[in-house]
Amino acid sequence: MLDMKRLKLRSMLVAVIAIALSLIAIASYAQANKTLTLATSPDYPPYEFKDTAVSGNEIIGFDIDIAKYITKELGYELKVIGMDFNGLIPALQAKRADLVMAGMTPTAERKKNVDFSDLYYEAQNTIVAKKGSNLTKAEDLTGKKVGVQLGSIQQESVKKMAGVQAAPLNKIPDIIQEIKAQRIAAGVIEDTVAKGYAAANPDLEFNTIPNTEESGSAIAFGKGSTLVPEFNRVLQQMKASGKIKELANKWFSRPIAQAEPTTANQPAVAPKFGLDFGKIVPSLPYILSGIWVTLTFTLLSAFLGFLWGIVLSLFKISSIKPLFWFATAYTSVFRGTPLILQLTLVYFATPQLTGYNISALQAGVITFFLNSGAYISETIRAGIQAVDKGQKEAAESLGVPYKQMMGDIILPQALKNILPALVNESIALLKDSALVSVIGVEDLLRRATIVGAEKYIYFEPLIFVGVIYYLMVLSLTWGANVLERRLQSSS
């Protein structure tokens, strides 16, 4: 009996070690020393955006060019990562990034949490609205619903306008889309950015309004960062030598990609319906390579989650009480809190707690396998318990050791019975994998939104990847059916 317990323990230990090792393998690439990580929100052409048809994955723009210039001067390597605007300051605080350049304005509120360089560019707010809507001054917005980017100073200034309802949205393209759909009356967006969107959407116009708050862009750093004086020194040089002007000219006067031709004196344009998938064709390779990201992510999480689920289920039927308690509490917590919350926690808390700068993909795989392990363990436990009790008793009376009994007799039968449930779990995982796009993993969904942002369109890329997701789920279901039939006929 004692021997059996020891064996049980040992096999569980082996499984735990196997999981730990695979984790380390995922996490094994170390960060080069002199690399600075720049975090940005690439929804802001021409400051930072993607042109997937031209430069693929890479984030480009005015801010990025400045960052490249400065880091080169100072002898650092530069790594650029993208996320939602409201995640940028937390990223600095979590030491996930060394600096942020996102057309970010140094406000008193932000200065409490991060340090800023000198200003490197000035900007003004504008009201973006449908042509002919006559919303040109702040006063015109009274009683209206107005879109702003979540966490931006525009959100603050609209909040202060009496009688105006602020609608905070994650991305600038979301604001544009909501205006076009007339769910909001207007948006408050910075001039250089508004210009691009207005040029690409002939049904929109923009009007500059006077700044009431702080304005302009500066580079943000973690509190107490020693980089600030170095960066300021190079910024001063760049201003003196005309380099900043040169870069501003390069980016701010560039013709807007895919802008629809506008004819002078065009009357207010009637809303256009109908979809144009032609616009996403140049970016197809970029979108399609997201299939790999999504697949690797799903397979890795499903596989690790499955192993972890087996371990947990054995814990749950174990006679060793602490293991049972652990597994039960674990499942309860992971099933009882939202997946997206677990994901953001793992992503943002890991660097702060462990000092290890976990990548978004690693954080995603870890959260998903920890989470799906909880669900799968329940399924497996039920599967094991559904196997005829007599078999266990027979094996035990024949003196078959626990490990062999589980591995050769009970688990194979259990797995066969729960296969449909496991397939369900994998399908859920495949679709839920789209959640990782919120922490910036470039999976299918994120690629679709990025292409949408850069082409100033919305539905086409989403519909396109929707079809891809659906096809992936169909093939998964089909593969599982084949497998099930095989297993059935082999019994």
**Positions in the binding site for ligand ARG (CB under 6 A):** 41, 43-44, 47-48, 85, 102-105, 149, 152-153, 172, 190
Nearer to ligand ARG, 252 or 469 (CB): 252
Report, in Å, the least distance between residue 120 CB and ligand ARG.
Answer: 12
Q: What is the smallest separation between the CB atom of 256 and ligand ARG, expressed in angstroms?
A: 17
Closer CB to ligand ARG, 174 or 205, in the complex: 174
Nearer to ligand ARG, 48 or 140 (CB): 48
Taking the mean position of all CA atoms in its chain, how far away is CA 24?
Answer: 22
- Whether the CB-CB separation of 77 and 36 falls below 8 Å is answered with yes
Q: For residues 146 and 414, which CB has a smaller minimum distance to ligand ARG in the complex?
A: 146
| Close Cβ partners of 133 (under 8 Å, ≥ 6 residues apart) | 185, 186
Least distance from ligand ARG to the Cβ atom of residue 85, Å: 4
Q: Which is nearer to ligand ARG, 104 or 444 (CB)?
A: 104
Residues 246, 220: Cα–Cα separation, whole Å = 22
How far lies 465's CA from each of 176, 435, 469, 471, in Å? 21, 14, 6, 10
Cα angle 212, 213, 215 (rounded to 5 degrees) comes to 115
Nearer to ligand ARG, 103 or 373 (CB): 103
Q: Characterize the bridge pairing of strands 99-100 and 217-222.
A: antiparallel
Smallest separation (angstroms) from ligand ARG to the CB of 189 = 8
Give the amino acid at 396: E
251 vs 315 by CB, closer to ligand ARG: 251
Nearest to 86 by CA among 462, 439, 453, 441: 439
Which of 422, 34, 38 has the alpha carbon at shortest distance from 221? 38
Indicate left, alpha or beta for 364 from its phi (over 0: left) and psi (-120 to 50: alpha).
alpha
Q: Are 439 and 364 in contact (CB under 8 A)?
A: yes
Min separation Cβ 26 and ligand ARG, Å? 30
Q: What distance in Å separates the CA atoms of residue 386 and residue 415, rounded to the nearest whole number? A: 11
Pick 38 or 293: Cβ nearer ligand ARG = 38
**Least distance (Å) between residue 40 CB and ligand ARG:** 6
Q: Is 43 or 205 the residue whose CB approaches ligand ARG more closely? A: 43
- Compute the least distance from the CB of residue 175 to ligand ARG, in Å: 10
Least Cβ distance, residue 84 to ligand ARG (angstroms)? 9
CB of 347 to ligand ARG, least distance (A): 19
**In the complex, minimum distance from the CB of residue 217 to ligand ARG, in angstroms, rounded to a whole number:** 6
- What number of CA atoms fall less than 13 Å from residue 116's CA on the CB side? 19
Q: Nearer Cβ to ligand ARG, position 62 or 347?
A: 62
CA distance linking residue 155 with residue 149, whole number of Å: 6
